[in-house]
Amino acid sequence: MKAALFRGTGQLEIAEVPDPRPGPGQALVRVAACGICGTDRHIFHGEFQTHPPVIIGHEYAGVITEIGPEVAGLRPGDRVAIDPNMPCGQCAPCRRGQVHMCEHLTALGVDIDGGFAEYSVAPITQCFPLPENLSLVEGAMAEPVACCIHGMDLAGVRSGDTVAIIGGGAIGQIMAQLARLQGAGRVIVSDLSAARREMALELGADAVIDPIAQDPLSAGQLLEGGANVVIEAVGSAATDAQAIAWAGRGGTVLWFGVTPPDQTVTVSPNLVFEKELTLRGARINPFTHGRALALLGSGRLEVGPLITRRANIEELPGLLAAGPGDDIKTVIVP
Ligand SMILES: [Zn+2]
Ligand SMILES: [Zn+2]
């Protein structure tokens, strides 16, 4: 089969590799779509630890074509979305129930072969049936939605809150919709790209900010008094600092975007005291994959419009090297 084999920094080879076979407790999945994530770009640029050679791609859905021994509950023909994150179950955080903090976490498409390929073998525990009304391409969005749901749980949006979201990529667009579903009174999305701002408005944001042209705290008073919840969905120190500045009294700041490890933010402890701010992070998708699929199946969360580009696997190395541009979510359709 054809697969995107990561061999080391900047080296992604579209190679012919042997078809994988499912072992005990595993399913063979014919991949229908696999989304490109910021993490894939970090991997490509050597900014994220992996174990090459490995087939990358961790946001994927497909159809089971074969099951290994000792598999119950799913069978060939079933459409599934993959939860790529596999905790060890044995370390101290796992045994406290914090599986996403696992000290030995392995992930399909990061540590072991994943979804930028025609076929992928996944443990049956990682295969979640797709709701009937959800397309396979939309099913590839289950992983980012699951991560956003975990973040939204921690952000603690309450009815009537003003929620500001920095970044109108796929994560920001999903977060904006989740904030509305949580009952936010006002949802504001900030992004440099006019196309992304337009998309946010189409999907229900109340206002958008061009952060270069407009200071939301002064001009236009978009955020009078600051937001109750600010979600950073970019992954840079500059926007992490901006998130603190945009939070109002008693506000919560969720740093969701993955910032390069060498970047730091200067925080005024006095400001945290004065405003009684909560600063928090959110990591991956503990027990939220099923919830993501339930929400997607309900039709209340729209991910179809976020898939702005479909590409074939040969285009993947160029797409990873180039960055997302105005595209919101690109999926590879093998
Ligand atoms: Zn991802
Ligand atoms: Zn563990």
Q: How far is the CA of 116 from the centre of ligand 1 (A)?
A: 13
Q: How far is the CA of 272 from the centre of ligand 1 (A)?
A: 31
Q: Are 34 and 59 in contact (CB under 8 A)?
A: yes
Q: Is the pTM of this model over 0.85?
A: yes
Among the bound ligands, name the one nearest to the CA of residue 329. 1
Q: Are strands 162-166 and 59-67 parallel, antiparallel or unpaired?
A: unpaired
Q: What is the pLDDT of residue 272?
A: 97
Among the bound ligands, name the one nearest to the CA of residue 105. 2
Among the bound ligands, name the one nearest to the CA of residue 170. 1
> Catalytic: 39?
yes
CA distance 245 to 267: 10
Domains with residue ranges and CATH for the chain: 2-141+303-332 (3.90.180.10), 146-281 (3.40.50.720)
Q: How far is the CA of 94 from the centre of ligand 2 (A)?
A: 4
pLDDT in tens, 111-152: 999 999 999 999 999 999 999 999 999 999 999 999 999 999
Q: How far is the CA of 144 from the centre of ligand 1 (A)?
A: 6
Which residues keep their CB under 5 angstroms from ion ligand 1? 37, 39
Give the sign of the dihedral formed by CA 177, CA 182, CA 186, CA 191: negative
CA distance 52 to 8: 6
Q: What is the pLDDT of residue 274?
A: 97
Is 90 exceeded by the pLDDT of residue 224?
A: no
pLDDT in tens, 157-174: 999 999 999 999 999 999
Is 90 exceeded by the pLDDT of residue 4?
A: yes
> Catalytic: 42?
yes
pLDDT in tens, 230-254: 999 999 999 999 999 999 999 999 9
User: 76 in helix, strand or coil?
Assistant: coil
